[in-house]
Chain A
Amino acid sequence: MHNFDFVKPSSIADAVKAMGQDGAQALSGGQTLIPTMKQRLAAPSVLVSLTGIKEMQGVCMGEGGLHVGAATPHAIVAREAKSHYPALAALAGGIGDPAVRVRGTIGGSIANNDPAACYPSAVLGSGATVVTNKRKIAADDYFQGLFTTALEEGEIVIEVVFPIPEKAAYVKFNQPASRFALTGVFVAKFASGVRVAVTGASQNGVFRWTDAENALGRSFNAQMVSGLTVDASEMIGDLHGTPAYRANLVKVLTSRAVAAAG
């Protein structure tokens, strides 16, 4: 790790200002950034911690659904979202291990947009809104491919607002080593329709499986998925699974998520 300066602003305005410095990098839970820095693969000159800003912390019901502060650790979401949005709480409670869950945050996760992270599937699958210091971004516009988002340079995620579905569930199949999602599927049934978001599987990051959404919109039943096929050509192939295997998992896990959602 190289030397760096560290600031911990207590307001969004101060954070935005600090982010204007040369070589500044936002730090939330540090679950990706710190290991990267330890390996000297990243060397920001200033780390701007976002964990000291009150309005970025915590979980509460409000306008548009459940508001989750961007700097809220997974363990807090797992505990405090449980009564409002059990599927989201369960997803948060299944990320990494206890050490990861007390440090890692939803804002850090979706700003990084790791293709195998769990949270992007919940945000996209719920049709959530990503609120930044500048604007509100619909989930469908926010995720733009591997490690790529709609965020601009220096833009900070403040909170994520989740509409509460009638039913939802997240089912993931662990990559055996990292225990990130080898594939994970978030299914949410709203009065207006069904959303199915898949993480871990595609070369383009989290995506909506629209065929399944349409089928499940007709009838929210695991059987509805059985006749569908998933195109393997855009799936990831690596040490842990072939594209065909991941395509299979998308289907199997979607069925299981629908069954779990009840």
Chain B
Amino acid sequence: MPKDHGIGASSKRREDVRFLTGRGKYTDDMAIAGQVHAVFVRSQVAHGRIKKVDTSNAAKMPGVLAVFTGEDFKDVGGNPAGWLIKSRNGEAMREPKRPVLAHGKVRHVGDAYAAVVAETLAQAKDAAQQIADDSVIEELPAIVDMAAAVANASNRVHDEIPDNLCYDWGWIEDNRAKVDEAIRNAPHVTTLELVNNRLVPNAMEPRASIGEYFPGTGDYKLTTTSQNPHLTRLLVAAFVLGIPENKLTVVAPDVGGGFGSKIYHYGEEALVLAAAKQLARPVRWTAERTESFLTDAHGRDHVTKIELACEKDGTFIAFRTETMANVGAYLSNFATVTPTFLHGTLMAGPYKVPNVYVNVKTVFTNTAPVDAYRGAGRPEATFSLERVIDKMCRELGLDPFEVRRKNFVTTDMFPYTTPVALVYDTGNYHATLDKAMEMADVAGFETRAAASKAKGKLRGLGLSTWIEACGIAPSHLVGILGSRVGLYDAATVRVNATGNISVMVGAHSHGQSHETVFAQIVADKLGIPEASVEIVHGDTSKIPFGMGSYGSRSLAVCGVAMAKAVDKIIAKGKKIAAHMLEAGEGDITFADGKFSVAGTDKAKTFGEIAFSAYVPHNYPLETLEPGLEETAFYDPANFTYPAGAYLCEVEVDPDTGKVDIVGFYCADDFGNIMNPMVVEGQVHGGVGQGIGQALLENTRYNEDGQLLSGSYMDYAMPRADDVPFYTVDYSCQTPCTHNPLGVKGCGEAGAIGSPPAVVNAVIDALHRGGFTHVTHIDMPVSPSRVWSAIHG
């Protein structure tokens, strides 16, 4: 029988009470006495030299309090890149300054080069328009296409970077010659060139920030839409504005979705703080949807050539990948690691392939910055691999299921070191594939295909077997690879005198259900009701430290820190209990919320122990501090490796090219499950985003660098009728071997595993319909593209 509380129960989401009744409290909901409004003046051209920014007329307009230009910030720091990546030749990546406001040049449409603060939003908008009218920006040829950017050394996004190249990275460089040799000598090589389409994150809540300055104390406060308030504090304080960290509080209240885009620090946050200081008034800004499209960090945008070398029976010999990754105009905080260590290290997939080499050239263009977006590098790796495997199976007439089985790393091989330097701790890839095939009734597919054919539709089945590395990440390892921060996380468990508990966690919850699931874990471990546990997050003045929510790391890193803090509480409780029960500490056991003397009926409840810690009348004060509060930092020993098998079934209308997803089946191994309902929700959301990428979302800049898909009139988001009822299973569990909860992470899985399953299904449908000339269609696989491919 399923549990009704604690670990493994589908406890209802407590955050839904406020979210579903309109009582959430988001940044834009905060009304602060005396607040004033910032509006940014943004470039209309993709690339231009700033000849003049004249703010004098704007400054005299009604209600205008302050104007800012790039000149005002030229002496403060830039927004830095979080990872230093080295090129194949050992050179450090090129790292141009990313200023608060553009100075000298504007580098993408939407690049802010001035800002106005006024009493009202309308006054600020009027003045911003005036500045735009009074400015002279000499338009330069836009650099949009990556290949052209690298080939044309004279047209530069950053004047100091001659070939627009951030770095030329090889992984692993020592593999290169061996992989080349293996491919040269292989009996069969399948080559596929593909695009991993750029995505706009489209969080429902746009970015918003409020800066406050308190002249009486010299303190600053930034309320902002962040997945990562401590990182934002670090970047604003230490790198950009030079505010002492202990004088700046960053609060990320309810945040309406991030998907990666709100991990990073953005210039608007620094501007509202600087303006608040200057004016001694709260300064607020909320992005309009157009600003979100133009300036949120976008995702993906890879152009890849992948080669798969194999035996005639489909046994893999080597994978070789050459990718160009678009980083946009500036380096966003994680932009350099996403196409490298979050992508290249996954290019072995769940397969025992002996030879893998990955080359990534990361290129500056006059487009919005690109950074990690749900899955971040791993969807790109999975898409390349699973598409080229599918193509190989067609070329050699092999069964795609059997080819995967033949090549899977088997359960007796763990821990398994891949040729791209990851060590998979555990997994069972055959089990998830078998489960997915059973759920999808693969055996009955031909009957369903015949029924589709009878009504003029083409039915197809697509498979993707995926793996990811998440629970990011072991600090010593990422330090070697170029990370400039550690990737542990932290939690404080504060037992109050009355026995209820406040847990301050570093991970920020903006849809992930931490407030529910983390409380389940604490309650389960302490044997108390979930309602007695409150989760506090998103405020740097309250929580010990945190490295943010992304990379499916909240539970596997912060959750483990929290569990360790609970263990410390129990250990201290045992000491207190030993004193109160007049027993040896070693004789005290803790179970079901009670500290007992082993072998006796002497016991104290958790509440009694908590009370004693705060009212220490009968307490070992000589050897033990009063109070019951513990903090733990946890630095993982390895990544975690969720994996799974996804099957997608589609119907294609050959007359219109429309693809309907009629079934989607996910068999995932996430290790131990804390809350099945929440896991299902995460998979549904992830697969929905993957389907969006596969079928709908088309971010297109024209050759002038104008974003053609800059509104919902042209950027297609998945809607309810675009996605099927999902069939989700997580019963194939191989618990993570190196964290005490045995958890792996489930937040990104759906977005990683689903796009190739969808595209493989469409190609399968077309082949079954006789259109065997179609070997690939780039995402989004829109009706027009499908129809054109059929008739191409």
Contact = CB atoms under 8 A, between A and B. Distances in A.
B89 to A, nearest CB: 39
A178 B714 contact: yes
B655 interface: yes
Contact of B714 (A2, A173, A177, A248): A177
Contacts of B129: 40
B656 A241 contact: no
B290 A239 contact: no
A1 B715 CA distance: 23
Interface string A214-241: 0000000000000000000000000111
B787 interface: yes
A242 interface: yes
Interface in B671-701: 695-696, 698, 700
Interface stretch (B216-224, B442-450, B705-713): B705-713
A249 B656 contact: yes
A245 B788 contact: yes
Contacts of A1: 122
A260 interface: no
A194 B79 CA distance: 65
A208 to B, nearest CB: 22
Interface in A107-145: none
Most buried by A among B122, B125, B708, B784: B784
Given A239-B698, A239-B714, A252 B656 contact: yes
A194 to B, nearest CB: 21
Contact of A245 (B698, B714, B716, B787): B787
Given A177-B714, A239-B709, A239-B714, A245 B784 contact: yes
B500 to A, nearest CB: 43
Contacts of B657: 245
A177 B712 contact: yes
A105 B714 CA distance: 23
Contacts of A252: 655-656
B410 interface: no
A177 B713 contact: yes
Interface in B648-680: 655-658
B529 interface: no
Determine chain A's interface SS by DSSP, over half rule: loop
Interface string B773-792: 00000000011100110010
Interface string A5-24: 00000000000000000000
Nearest to A39: B290
Contacts, number: 52
A57 B17 CA distance: 41
Contacts of A241: 782-784
A90 interface: no
Given A39-B290, A40-B125, A176 B655 contact: no
A146 interface: no
Contact of A173 (B656, B712, B716, B791): B656
Contacts of B712: 177-178
Contacts of A173: 656, 658, 783
Contact of A176 (B122, B782, B791): B782
A150 interface: no
Contacts of B656: 173, 248-249, 252
Contact of B713 (A3, A178, A182, A242): A178
Contacts of A177: 696, 709, 712-717
B709 A248 contact: no
Contacts of A100: none
A244 interface: yes
B782 A240 contact: yes
Interface string A174-195: 0011100010000000000000
Contacts of B713: 177-178
Contact of B784 (A2, A39, A40, A242): A242
A241 B657 CA distance: 11
Interface string A34-53: 00000110000000000000
Contacts of B695: 176
A182 B125 CA distance: 35
A54 B233 CA distance: 59
A252 B784 CA distance: 13
A1 B695 CA distance: 35
A242 B713 CA distance: 17
Most buried by B among A173, A177, A241: A177
A2 B698 CA distance: 32
A35 to B, nearest CB: 9
Nearest to B653: A252
Contacts of A182: 783
Contacts of A240: 714, 782, 784
Contacts of A245: 657, 783-784, 787-788
Contacts of B700: 239
A39 B711 CA distance: 12
Most buried by B among A39, A40, A241, A244: A241
Given A177-B714, A178-B714, A239-B709, A248 B782 contact: no
A252 B715 CA distance: 25
B716 A176 contact: yes
A100 B698 CA distance: 24
A2 B125 CA distance: 10
A252 B790 CA distance: 15
Contacts of B696: 176-177
B287 to A, nearest CB: 14
Most buried by A among B700, B716, B791: B716
Nearest to A183: B656
A240 B658 CA distance: 12
Interface string B712-736: 1111110000000000000000000
Contacts of A249: 656
A240 B715 CA distance: 10
Contacts of B655: 248, 252
Contacts of A178: 712-714
Contacts of B709: 177, 239
Contacts of A3: 122
A40 B783 CA distance: 34
Most buried by B among A40, A176, A182: A176
Contact of B708 (A2, A239, A248): A239
Interface in B738-792: 782-784, 787-788, 791
Contacts of B708: 239
Nearest to A176: B716
Contacts of B783: 173, 176, 182, 241, 245
Interface string B614-649: 000000000000000000000000000000000000
A40 B288 CA distance: 13
Interface string B271-291: 000000000000000000010
Contacts of A242: 784, 788
B761 to A, nearest CB: 18
A46 to B, nearest CB: 18
Nearest to A2: B122
A244 B709 CA distance: 21
B711 to A, nearest CB: 8
Nearest to A240: B784
B49 to A, nearest CB: 26
A240 B708 CA distance: 11
A204 B656 CA distance: 22
Contacts of B290: 39
Most buried by A among B125, B696, B713: B713
B289 to A, nearest CB: 10
A252 B655 CA distance: 7
Which 8 pairs show the lowest CB-CB distances between chains A and B? A177-B716, A176-B716, A241-B784, A245-B784, A178-B713, A252-B655, A177-B714, A176-B696
10 contacts: A173-B658, A176-B783, A177-B714, A177-B717, A178-B713, A178-B714, A240-B784, A248-B655, A252-B655, A252-B656
Given A173-B658, A240-B782, A245-B788, 9 more contacts: A3-B122, A40-B125, A177-B709, A177-B715, A178-B713, A239-B708, A245-B657, A245-B784, A248-B787
